[in-house]
């Protein structure tokens, strides 16, 4: 599980010290974390930061992670909005991102500091276990003294946790890629260094950034599509391949969402083994994916992605409430909480919807993070339960009204 993210000089995030004395902004995540705030307050910049770390975990050169990467004539990685020029907060030459994970009963802290002036390269990277002191690898470990960090010719030197006795082993790798994929298990390096690097790298790689697109869900798609694509494009074959009881649960949710009664889902399969779903309405009318409404398809895509995610998965969604009728948003709130609590899937989502927040349990509402901008234009963010007036909000009979009239921005 991703426990926290600290951003410093990343896009709209500054480097001021917070009340706790840590530089930049600190976000603490729960099973379900919603990011709420006005347009341009920095919510999507947080998701961009996580996508940057995912690209780094794919071992792509950091410049390609920001710019986008092509192999042959195909783009294999889309890059980050704004590319290298707008990755750092205006005026700065580097940014840093620090995450804390709990995976396989270990607490792992990873930090990357990246310069974007000239060639995009690592300034520093470390992986710590449990406490700040116990490093697994660090380009600026105390034992390296002035020898740590970047070397001539694009390398970066790091110390690794060694077997007991003797000096820490030192390695030199490329500063153009993350060290998570470069550290080597040799010359007295403790095995837990490599296993931890692999755990964090895999966790970043497996995070799913859902971007459901109804217009891509309306076609026939080959059977055995495997996993659901991030745009939901193969929803029909994925639904067809589900166990009967999971499909029944999905039909239940859909029938609550839609105005016409939904009683089932059937499939049309062509001679070429391509599949299209048909939503069966009360009275036996069958409506193909082609004619299903945008809102229905969006919800269906999110629903399937969330319900079939394996325990431990991290699913990231942008504005899942878009296209839903206000009277149905409570369903989304219920779905998000249910999946996070019962399926042990970690969900992180941005939203503009006061209605969605109003339908959360008090616990989930407390874990929402509110976003705004300070007088210098930098993003400020705070978890609702840490606000001094959280009780006022949580106990209000009209949470929706308070939020839609700007209560949160004033409270930040
Ligand atoms: N390099 C940068 N330096 C300063 N501000 C930036 C930078 N990149 C983006 N921003 C700010 O971030 C805003 C976009 O934030 P975003 O996270 O997309 O908003 P939202 O909360 O609506 O998702 C931009 O309008 C801009 O003000
Ligand atoms: Mg946004």
Report the domain count for the chain: 1
Dist. CA 380 → ligand 1 center (Å): 12
Euclidean distance between CA atoms 329 and 347, whole angstroms: 17
Q: Which of 205, 187, 183 is nearest to 195 (CA)?
A: 183
pTM, full prediction: 0.95
What per-residue confidence (pLDDT) applies to 261? 86
Q: Find all residues with CB under 8 Å of 202, minimum gap 6, and list them.
A: 57
Q: Which of 244, 259, 334, 330 is nearest to 292 (CA)?
A: 259
In a domain, 17, yes or no: no
In a domain, 95, yes or no: no
Dist. CA 268 → ligand 1 center (Å): 44
Euclidean distance between CA atoms 108 and 99, whole angstroms: 8
For every residue of 310-332, DSSP letters joined together read PTT-EEEEE-TTTT--GGGHHHH
Q: Which of 296, 265, 291 is nearest to 278 (CA)?
A: 265
What per-residue confidence (pLDDT) applies to 165? 74
Residue nearest to atom 7 of ligand 1 (CA): 11
Residue nearest to atom 24 of ligand 1 (CA): 40
Q: Which ligand 1 atom sits nearest the alpha carbon of residue 85?
A: 1
Q: Who lines ligand 1 at CB under 6 A?
A: 11-12, 37, 39-45, 82, 86, 88-90, 350, 371
Residue nearest to atom 19 of ligand 1 (CA): 40
Dist. CA 110 → ligand 2 center (Å): 25
Instruction: Return the ligand number nearest the Cα of 381.
Output: 1
Dist. CA 92 → ligand 1 center (Å): 15
What per-residue confidence (pLDDT) applies to 22? 65
Q: Where are the alpha helices (DSSP H) in 11-170?
A: 43-57, 62-67
Residue nearest to atom 13 of ligand 1 (CA): 40
Query: Would you give per-residue pLDDT tens digits along the chain (412 residues)?
Result: 999 999 999 999 998 776 666 667 999 999 999 999 999 999 999 999 999 999 999 999 999 999 999 999 999 999 999 999 999 998 789 999 999 999 999 999 999 999 999 999 999 999 999 866 689 999 999 999 888 899 988 999 999 999 987 789 999 999 999 999 999 999 899 999 999 999 999 999 999 999 999 999 999 999 986 789 999 999 999 999 999 999 999 999 999 988 888 999 999 999 999 999 999 998 899 999 999 999 999 999 999 999 999 999 999 999 999 989 988 999 999 999 999 999 999 999 999 899 999 999 999 999 999 999 998 899 999 999 999 889 999 988 888 898 888 888 888 8
In a domain, 376, yes or no: no
Rounded to whole angstroms, what are the CA distances from 220 to 58, 235, 237, 250, 302?
Answer: 31, 10, 9, 20, 19
In a domain, 293, yes or no: yes
Token pair listed for 189: 């390096």
Q: Are 290 and 278 in contact (CB under 8 A)?
A: no
> How remote is the C-alpha of 385 from its chain's centroid?
21
Dist. CA 205 → ligand 1 center (Å): 25
> How remote is the C-alpha of 248 from its chain's centroid?
29
Residue nearest to atom 27 of ligand 1 (CA): 40
**For strand 346-351 and strand 32-36, is the pairing parallel, antiparallel, or unpaired?**
parallel
Dist. CA 290 → ligand 2 center (Å): 28
Range of the domain at 279: 208-310
Instruction: Return the ligand number nearest the Cα of 88.
Output: 1
Q: Where are the alpha helices (DSSP H) in 242-361?
A: 244-257, 294-308, 329-342, 354-358
Dist. CA 38 → ligand 1 center (Å): 11
Residue nearest to atom 12 of ligand 1 (CA): 12
In a domain, 163, yes or no: no
Residue nearest to atom 8 of ligand 1 (CA): 11
In a domain, 254, yes or no: yes
Euclidean distance between CA atoms 233 and 247, whole angstroms: 18
Residue to substitute in 40, 114, 319, 378 for testing ligand 1 pocket (most ligand atoms within 8 angstroms of CB): 40
Q: Which of 239, 204, 209 is nearest to 221 (CA)?
A: 239
């Amino acid at each position: 599980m991703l426990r926290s993210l600290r951003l410093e000089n990343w896009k709209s995030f500054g480097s001021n010290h917070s009340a706790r004395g840590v530089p930049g902004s600190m976000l603490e995540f729960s099973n379900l974390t919603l990011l709420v705030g006005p347009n341009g307050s920095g919510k999507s910049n947080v998701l961009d930061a996580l996508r940057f770390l995912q690209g780094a975990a794919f071992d792509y050169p950091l410049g390609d992670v920001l710019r986008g990467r092509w192999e042959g004539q195909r783009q294999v990685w889309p890059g980050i909005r704004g590319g290298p020029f707008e990755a750092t907060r205006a005026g700065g030459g580097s940014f840093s991102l620090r995450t804390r994970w709990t995976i396989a009963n270990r607490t792992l802290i990873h930090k990357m500091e990246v310069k974007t002036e000239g060639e995009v390269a690592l300034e520093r990277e470390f992986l710590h276990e449990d406490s700040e002191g116990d490093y697994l690898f660090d380009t600026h470990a105390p034992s390296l003294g002035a020898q740590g960090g970047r070397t001539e010719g694009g390398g970066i030197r790091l110390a690794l946790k060694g077997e007991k006795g003797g000096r820490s082993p030192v390695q030199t790798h490329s500063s153009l890629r993350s060290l998570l994929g470069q550290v080597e298990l040799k010359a007295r390096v403790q095995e837990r260094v490599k296993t931890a690097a692999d755990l964090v790298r895999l966790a970043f790689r497996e995070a799913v950034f859902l971007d459901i697109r109804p217009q891509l869900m309306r076609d026939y798609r080959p059977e055995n599509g495997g996993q659901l694509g991030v745009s939901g494009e193969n929803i029909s074959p994925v639904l067809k391949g589900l166990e009967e009881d999971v499909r029944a649960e999905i039909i239940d949710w859909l029938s609550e969402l839609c105005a016409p009664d939904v009683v089932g889902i059937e499939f049309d399969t062509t001679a070429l083994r391509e599949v299209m779903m048909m939503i069966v309405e009360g009275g036996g009318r069958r409506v193909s994916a082609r004619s299903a409404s945008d809102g229905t398809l969006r919800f269906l895509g999110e629903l399937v992605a969330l319900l079939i995610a394996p325990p431990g998965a991290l699913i990231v969604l942008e504005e899942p409430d878009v296209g839903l009728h206000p009277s149905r948003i409570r369903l989304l709130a219920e779905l998000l909480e249910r999946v996070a609590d019962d399926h042990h899937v970690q969900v992180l989502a941005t939203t503009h919807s006061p209605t969605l927040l109003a339908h959360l349990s008090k616990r989930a509402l407390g874990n929402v993070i509110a976003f705004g901008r300070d007088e210098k234009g930098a993003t400020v963010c705070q978890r609702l339960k840490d606000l001094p007036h959280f009780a006022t909000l949580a106990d209000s009979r009209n949470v929706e009204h308070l939020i839609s009239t700007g209560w949160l921005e004033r409270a930040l």
